[in-house]
Structure 1
Amino acid sequence: MASTLRRLFSLAIGGCLLFAMSACSPLKLLNALTPDGSFDKTEGIAYGADPRQKLDVYVPRHPMANAPVVVFFYGGSWNSGSRSDYGFVGEALASRGIVAVLADYRLYPQVRYPLFLEDGAQAVAWTHEHIRQFSGSPQRLYLMGHSSGAYNAAMLALDPGLLGAVGLSPHNLSGWIGLAGPYDFLPIENPDVRPVFFWPDSPPQSQPINHVSRGAPPALLMAATDDDLVNPTRNTGGLARKLREAGVPVQDLYFSRPGHATLVATLSRPMRSLAPVLEQIAAFVKATPGQ
């Protein structure tokens, strides 16, 4: 069944490419194949004044009291992306009893580093203050992201100044999860990313690996072995090594079947057989004590 679904998914993606005018996309297809029976969704909640500063909350249909909470940031090289494209992530987390918060944030060219991180901090602050209304526990709060969104999660978890600006600290986090994240990428090679970080004068403090310290929250880092966009050895492996040297609990896992983009797609029901990403997230959340 799983192989059949993957073949159908590949064929559908091909159809989307052939008929782009239909506004079809792989992410939209994953969302179209995502059932909605496992969650209740509240969408378009403003955490700030800008139109991009909004989030959606996915609550398990039958939530436990004080459920764990994951704030998810999507990727897109800080140039593109929308929370509406990642409904399958909300469903995946909700299906495991986790309250999911999917947050938009401002993108380049509207903003550059570090303003999109300030948006992320505001989204976390909103979640910490209001998530009890959605059966979530602010004492069991996690950050998670894919690609550039994993960078956002890493910076919020490792640089105390970002959450400090909204009255919180990394100590308010039970942990964080990074999927194919860029954590050590100077000098910048991607031309789409260069202006986001003021290349060639990109500040060293923009790199998560330079903010590792003892007492940082536990981390679960996952990457695709053959990632051709974000080097997994330098980024995931390098950050994991530095966290261990600082005495921070960290687990780094590498999967051979998905690639950079499809690593997050493994959270969707049609693609879960590619790698046990969702199972690892659920186990990490279950094993990590609340604050």
Structure 2
Amino acid sequence: MPPLPRRSLLAMLPALLTACSATDLLNATVPDDTYVRTEGLAYGPDPRQRVDVYQPTPPVRNAPLVVFFYGGSWSSGDRADYRFVGEALASQGIVTVVADYRLSPQVRYPVFIEDSARAVRWAHDRAAQYGASPSRVFVMGHSAGAYNAAMIALDSRWLAAEGMRPAQLAGWIGLAGPYDFLPIIDRKTQIAFDWPHTPADSQPLSHASNLSPPALLLAPTNDSVVSPQRSTVAMAHKLKASGVRVESELFGSVSHVTLVAALASVLRSRAPVLARVTAFVQSTR
């Protein structure tokens, strides 16, 4: 689909900022000449174990590769909704893998982390096939997806099950991630984590150590869904105290949802999310 005229985009901005189905409108703004997409590749036997790969156009030799996990309280989401993320990163020369994973109530913690680790293994093994370097693989996520990325990067159990180590990651990127959220109040999250039987070591903050790969942590200053102080700020402080390279920033111009939406060209002026992610990824060689 060709991108919508700018006048139409401006007319849609109020909906983009408030509607639950805003991803449809964001994806309608995506150009089709900045990437090549390969859809529905299986990293496991379950129908939810699928990825879409976005390769930059023109191709980039030994490009970095980002595996992106979306949010949705571990109970909703679809990789097709995040074409705007794949395009944004591919337009900056980054091979991007947008991954589905199994969701609650079909599964409970830690299955969605296991799926995410399996998707990372799949991407790592096929990086060269898509023009990327296996030594430049990053994990990235928004909200619940940032939790998945954090657990993969910080808690070695999940990649170890796939024959990998967090040290093999070039870095991890969290957008408005929940890294410390016990006790659980939200009903959907309670189901996903089998509350009140949720283990204490399910919290990413408890795994922050000097073994973490470099991290970029971004969040809204005022987030009504995930506490930026308890999660993003606390995680940045703990990693820095452990000697880990960390970049972090809180933005006053975006919400929990529009933080990730700011990757799309039509909302990019609201916060430099794409610029920060690109600079972080490109600084790791």
Q: TM-score range by the shorter chain?
A: over 0.9
> Does structure 1 conserve the Cα–Cα contact (< 8 Å) formed by 2:175 and 2:218?
yes
**Which residue is equivalent to 1:76?**
72
2:276 is paired with a residue whose SS is helix
CA distance in 1, matches of 2:165, 2:176: 24
Deviations, residues 33-70 of structure 1 (Å, cap 9, x unaligned): 11111000000000000000000000001122110000
CA distance in 2, matches of 1:184, 1:130: 33
CA distance in 2, matches of 1:90, 1:220: 18
Given the alignment, which residue of 10, 13, 18 partners 1:10? 13
CA distance in 1, matches of 2:21, 2:214: 34
Instruction: Report the alpha carbon displacement of residue 4 of structure 1 after superposing the two structures with TM.
Output: 6.7
Instruction: Report the alpha carbon displacement of residue 9 of structure 1 after superposing the two structures with TM.
Output: 2.6
**Which residue is equivalent to 2:3?**
none
Residue 171, structure 1, aligned to residue 167, structure 2:
yes
Q: Number of aligned pairs?
A: 280
Deviations, residues 63-113 of structure 1 (Å, cap 9, x unaligned): 221100000000000000000000000000001000000000000011110
State the AA in 2 paired with 1:214: N
2:127 is paired with a residue whose SS is helix
Instruction: Report the alpha carbon displacement of residue 11 of structure 1 after superposing the two structures with TM.
Output: 4.3
CA distance in 1, matches of 2:218, 2:186: 21
Taking the TM superposition and a 5 Å limit, the aligned residue runs for 1:130-209 are 130-209=126-205
**Which residue is equivalent to 1:99?**
95
Residue 38, structure 1, aligned to residue 34, structure 2:
yes
Given the alignment, which residue of 222, 225, 233 partners 1:226? 222
State the AA in 2 paired with 1:89: V
**Which residue is equivalent to 2:61?**
65
> Does structure 1 conserve the Cα–Cα contact (< 8 Å) formed by 2:16 and 2:26?
no
TM-score by length of 1: 0.93
**Which residue is equivalent to 1:120?**
116
Instruction: Report the alpha carbon displacement of residue 214 of structure 1 after superposing the two structures with TM.
Output: 1.1
Given the alignment, which residue of 185, 207, 213 partners 2:209? 213
4+ long deviations beyond 4 Å: 3-7, 11-14
**Which residue is equivalent to 1:243?**
239
Given the alignment, which residue of 100, 106, 123 partners 1:110? 106
> Does structure 2 conserve the Cα–Cα contact (< 8 Å) formed by 1:6 and 1:271?
no
TM-score by length of 2: 0.95
Could you tell me the percent identity over the aligned residues? Answer: 55
Structure 1 residues not aligned, in runs of 5+: 18-23
Structure 2 residues not aligned, in runs of 5+: 1-5
